[in-house]
A and B are shown apart, each in its own frame.
Chain A
Amino acid sequence: MNNFQEKRIPIIKIGHYLIVSIQVDMHDKLAIQLQSQILEEIEKTGAKGVLIDISVLEMVDSFIGRMLSGMASMASIMDAAVVIVGMQPAVAITLVELGLEMPGVDTALNMERGMEMLDKRIARMDEE
């Protein structure tokens, strides 16, 4: 069953934001693919903010964790802000125990808070 590799994670544009909802158990290749995809979309659409929804993910290991951190850094270089939304408690605890604390990465409890955060970020960026 080679379906895993052919899966593409959908990226939806809402207003100035991109919303990425990760619903599948990702293997490394898919994670890297997603990273490139998101950056391409940012460039294509000129989006100022990306909300990555991981509320369905039951596990985030060091590779995925680093991919998410990396995502935030890369996007900021392209002048877009990234917010990780909906991390599950068990996932948060495990990441901390793994030693991955993702400093400098914005996180939000849910989509509503996530958008609030992005609104603030972008308002601030506009003022500069």
Chain B
Amino acid sequence: MIQAFTYDPSWTELAKYDINNENDIVMVRQMVRQYAKNFRMGIVEQTRITTAVSELLRNMYQYAGGGQVTINDGNVEEHHALIVTFEDEGPGIENLELAMSDGYTSGAGMGYGLPGAKRLVDYFKIQTEPQKGTSVRIMKWK
């Protein structure tokens, strides 16, 4: 397991979910949509974060066979943020720079969808180590 992100103790944990199959993906998507609604985000913002989460869940399931998602509510700098963290112990991403560049598609012809997801959120950070795993954290505020 690679060095994962730290969780600020002042954050509230809204959910912690293991992703083992496609149903889990659909479930977490809907959870995130609901939390975004609770945060009073507009419909476009809700759709943005739900879509970003869907992209990242797919990656985790497709390339790592599954992993864990944690959803937190916390203050980051002056923002009240919805924080979603994805952690897996999969093969990691060999060339992160390439994966984060637009127009990159991996062997399966789909790419990791990372640059797209990054554009949809207010904060995006990824840590990966080949053979050890990948962690991604995104945040959306307002």
Residues of A within 8 A of B (CB): 1-2, 4-5, 25-29, 58-63, 66, 89-91, 93-94, 97-100
Q: A61-B54, A66-B110, A89-B44 are in contact. List 15 more A-B contacts (CB 8 A).
A: A1-B23, A2-B23, A27-B23, A58-B33, A58-B50, A59-B29, A60-B51, A61-B55, A61-B113, A62-B116, A90-B43, A93-B44, A97-B48, A98-B120, A99-B115
Q: Give the residue of B29, B30, B113 whose beta carbon is less than 8 angstroms from that of A62.
A: B113
Q: Is the interface of A mostly helix, strand, loop or mixed?
A: helix
**Using a Cβ–Cβ cut-off of 8 Å, how many residues does chain B contribute to the interface with A?**
25
**For A26, what are the chain B residues with a Cβ–Cβ distance below 8 Å?**
26
Kindly list the 5 A-B residue pairs having the minimum CB-CB distance in the complex, ordered from nearest: A27-B22, A98-B116, A90-B47, A61-B54, A90-B44
Any A CB within 8 A of the CB of B142:
no
Chain B nearest Cβ from A57, distance in angstroms: 10
Are B44 and A27 interface neighbours, CB within 8 A?
no
Q: Using an 8 Å CB-CB cutoff, how does the interface string of B29-58 with A read, 1 for contact, 0 for none? A: 110010000000001101110110011001
Are A99 and B102 interface neighbours, CB within 8 A?
yes
A90 to B22, CA, bound (A): 24
Most buried by A among B25, B26, B110, B119: B26
**For A93, what are the chain B residues with a Cβ–Cβ distance below 8 Å?**
44, 47
Q: Using an 8 Å CB-CB cutoff, how does the interface string of B1-38 with A read, 1 for contact, 0 for none? A: 00000000000000000000011011001100100000
